Amino acid sequence: MTEQKRPTFGSRHLSDEHDVFSHNAWDDVEWSDEQSEEANTIIEKQYENRMSDTKWETLKSDLPSAWNRFYDIHENKFFKDRQWLFTEYPELLFSSSSSNTDPRQLITILEVGCGVGNSIFPIIRTNNINEHSHIFLYCCDYSSTAIDILKQNVDYNTKYCHGFVYDITSFNPMPFEENSLDFILMIFVLSAIHPSQHEQVIKNLIKYLKPGHGKLLFRDYGLYDMAQLRFKNDKCIEKNLYARSDGTLTYFFQQDELDQLFTRNGLVKEQNLIDRRLQVNRSKQLKMYRVWLQCKYIRK
């Protein structure tokens, strides 16, 4: 599969290694063969020293309560609002000049795994959404605690937003009709679900997109991301799947893997790219390589 480059607007590229600590971050940083080999070695050792079956069974039984515990502890203070959404997904800017959608028709958006609203509320504020707007946002999360916190936000209003508790691995119906959504937003969500359920999650969701133009906007962790390479022994569950210290899961995707998952379930690729960033801590002279996958797929 041919690797696409992320858009260059607003990008900062490192052309001279001596300049690496002159800024906090660099875009589209290519890996050397040596770096890739080193990363593969780390991942192989993680798998060799993976979690025991007994420990995994114990962890698995506790998964349903892990996210409620997370939000009980962190409330709305852990994740920052995603102001970068509109750079990566200009589709979410609904001015008359930036949207191809007929302004007389209702635009419907669903965010799954919405947490406490770090995507939903920037969308509301940036687009000045109110009860007179032709935009309605649905947002759901597995954690009832997260939804309770979301509903306490001053920007939450049931006239243009509906937050609800929902398990996207289940077969339960959504509170709206199939074939009704313009966008489904899925940001760092699928990685928190066991890969054996990824297929079912996508099947569950795409039937709610409008045929012909309903779009999935996806972003998640990619193979070799810094977070993956930092996991210690006994945290790897299976290939590219790990347990975090708080009892939640995280999975690291490959580009072709996502393309196959989406296309075999009736989606057509508009974008599937690897976003490689080099983040630096200038005071500590540390380099941190991030790898994310960003996708846009349209329902047939």
Domains and CATH numbers, the chain: 25-94+104-299 (3.40.50.150)
pLDDT at 282: 54
- pLDDT at position 17 is 56
Spatial distance between the Cα atoms of 42 and 49, rounded to a whole number of angstroms? 11
Tell me the whole-structure pTM to 2 decimals: 0.87
pLDDT of residue 297: 99
Tens-binned pLDDT, residue by residue, of the chain (300 aa): 444 444 443 465 544 454 444 445 545 677 788 888 999 999 999 999 999 999 999 999 999 899 899 898 886 666 677 889 999 999 999 964 344 455 568 999 999 999 999 999 999 999 999 999 999 999 999 999 999 999 999 999 999 999 999 999 999 999 999 999 999 999 999 999 999 999 999 999 999 999 999 999 999 999 999 999 999 999 999 999 999 999 999 999 999 999 999 999 999 999 999 998 876 655 555 667 899 999 999 999
Report the candidate in 165, 222, 160 with the shortest Cα–Cα distance to residue 190. Answer: 222
What is the structure's pLDDT at 31?
Answer: 74
Pairing of strands 249-251, 241-243: antiparallel
**pLDDT score of 1:** 47
| φ, ψ of residue 35 in degrees (nearest 5) | -65, -40
284: three-class secondary structure by DSSP: coil
pLDDT at site 280: 61
